[in-house]
Amino acid sequence: MTATSHDDGVRADDRLRGLIDVLLPGIDRFADVLTRRITEEEDAYRDHGQVKYGQLRASCADNLHSMVSQLGRDALDLRVPQDTGRFKAEHEVPLSAVTHAYRLAGRFLWECALAEAGDAVTREMPHVATAVWSVSDAFTDAVAVAYREAMSERAHRDRQVRSLLLAALLDGRLDEGAHLWECADALRLPQRGVFAVVSAERRAGGGPADEDVLHDLEGALRALGIRSVWRLEDDAQVGLLSLRSPRSLAQAMDLMRRRGVGRVGMSGLFHGLEQAPGAFRQARLACACVEPGVCDVASYGDAPVRLMVVSAPDSAQHAVREVLSPVLDLPAHERDVLLETLSRWFDSGGSATETAARMYCHRNTVTHRLRRVQELTGRSAADPVGASEIHLALEAHRLLTGPRPTGPVDPAGPVDPAGPAGP
């Protein structure tokens, strides 16, 4: 496009400068017509619910003036459509309605060019059409980008506010009554209903991706009819679930188990938000009941021994030292084989035969290992008291020390078997 300098810096050739001079004086009249057209053709503006007629008319005037004055420019000043996009986002006008209004404005501007400039536009039709539709497209793109950015910023602010409110609720920093009601209203949750709190262990080195995970999880729960509010803490992702019924709790647990979120704890059900702090403590304890390194979901109270361990970690560690120290002090291979045998033996209900089958060894090998544990600890797995002490110490070691060995175990064991090894 051949261009010459204009007094105000507008880069336009003589043909477009004449069109600009013809159109600018009629902006107020054009704005009235365009405003009526938009309200007639776009439902979102028809009832003036989100944006008043005067606001729409002022926006039409500002945008038409900016579009006309920049016809033919190589670089456009897009502050007007950007401001419009942010304004419409804050007033919750649907983006489809906003872009539709801009398309109407583009067609209207072309009609004005034809009507006001007459033969001059007809003679230079391709040149003028390019200028009009270029500025129209640029404004439509700019308003859409600004709208999306504003909605993203708003969503981030809303998440921050909801996160702070959820923290205050779970920490018990809200008084019952007005403050609790206001918190429930801001979180878009009922004050009374069927609730549960979730605590999911946060991945080491977690960052912004964790927010995306929570956003996806919130959407998946919503698809099940479960409303949720989440916050990120230093070591956990914490959520408050509003369930349709007590049966929905199982659906939520299945969803998180399928997604492999990691170690997840679920509180018991409760029916008033004033009970959320206690439920939060339950969820944290339930999460700690899941063995480190395992992806699973635990419900509060489902494993009483584990719950007792994580509720009193100092006492549990004392039990580990008192009961299992002789085993833990063995060389790594022998230690791991004995701990694995004990774990399998308890998991199989004290059956040496089933334990042997699970470990691919002879039952006599299992019996010999159990005797070895008895020699070291002074406690017999066949004695109820001794077995309970060993089981408690073993659970404490698994939960408080770290993941149990997952590598292959030598079926023959570290000691001479009492019988032939093998199935």
pLDDT category of residue 118 using cuts at 50, 70 and 90: low
Evaluate whether 192 touches 271 at the Cβ level (below 8 Å): yes
Instruction: Quote the pLDDT of residue 300.
Output: 94
Evaluate whether 195 touches 269 at the Cβ level (below 8 Å): yes
Instruction: Quote the pLDDT of residue 376.
Output: 95
Task: Report the phi/psi class of residue 205: left, alpha or beta, with left for phi > 0 and alpha for psi in -120 to 50.
Answer: left
The yes-or-no verdict on residue 97 having pLDDT over 50 is yes
The yes-or-no verdict on residue 4 having pLDDT over 50 is no
The yes-or-no verdict on residue 418 having pLDDT over 70 is no
pLDDT category of residue 176 using cuts at 50, 70 and 90: low
Max mean pLDDT range (34-48, 140-154, 332-346): 332-346
More confident residue, 96 or 126: 96
pLDDT category of residue 117 using cuts at 50, 70 and 90: low
Coil vs helix vs strand at 296? strand
Instruction: Quote the pLDDT of residue 74.
Output: 84
Q: What are residue 236's DSSP bridge partners? A: 201
> Which residue carries 């199935």 as its tokens?
423
Instruction: Quote the pLDDT of residue 129.
Output: 83
Mean pLDDT along residues 182-192: 87
Instruction: Quote the pLDDT of residue 104.
Output: 93
Q: Which pLDDT tens digit goes with each residue over 132-173?
A: 899 999 999 999 999 999 887 877 777 788 888 888 899 888
Token reading at 205: 């080195």
pLDDT category of residue 391 using cuts at 50, 70 and 90: very high
Instruction: Quote the pLDDT of residue 177.
Output: 60
Instruction: Quote the pLDDT of residue 205.
Output: 54
The yes-or-no verdict on residue 6 having pLDDT over 80 is no
State the number of CA atoms in the 13 A half-sphere of 143 facing the CB. 28
Coil vs helix vs strand at 195? strand
Q: What are residue 113's DSSP bridge partners? A: none
pLDDT category of residue 402 using cuts at 50, 70 and 90: low
Instruction: Quote the pLDDT of residue 49.
Output: 63
Cα separation, 123 vs 121, in Å, equals: 5
More confident residue, 408 or 298: 298
Beta pairing class for 263-266 and 11-12: unpaired
Mean pLDDT along residues 290-312: 91
Question: Helical H runs in 91-232?
Answer: 95-117, 119-123, 125-170, 178-186, 208-223
Domains defined for the chain, CATH in brackets: 4-153 (1.10.490.10), 178-302 (3.30.70.270), 313-401 (1.10.10.2840)
Range 137-172 burial, b when 16+ CB lie within 10 A, else e: ebbbebbbebbeebbeeeeeeebeebbebbeebbee
More confident residue, 110 or 420: 110
Closest of 237, 236, 217 to residue 227, by C-alpha: 217
The yes-or-no verdict on residue 17 having pLDDT over 80 is yes
Mean pLDDT along residues 256-273: 89
With vertex at residue 167, the alpha carbon angle to CA 228 and CA 171, rounded to the nearest 5 degrees, is 115
Report the predicted TM-score, pTM, of the whole model to 2 decimal places: 0.62
Task: Indicate the range of 122-131, 256-265, 355-364, 391-400 predicted with least confidence.
Answer: 122-131
Instruction: Quote the pLDDT of residue 382.
Output: 85
Q: Which pLDDT tens digit goes with each residue over 190-242?
A: 989 999 999 998 876 555 556 777 778 888 999 999 999 998 888 889 999 99
Instruction: Quote the pLDDT of residue 206.
Output: 54
Taking the alpha carbons of 418, 419, 420, 423 in that order, is the dihedral positive or negative? negative
Token reading at 74: 């190589």
Task: Indicate the range of 37-51, 136-150, 243-257, 377-391 predicted with least confidence.
Answer: 37-51
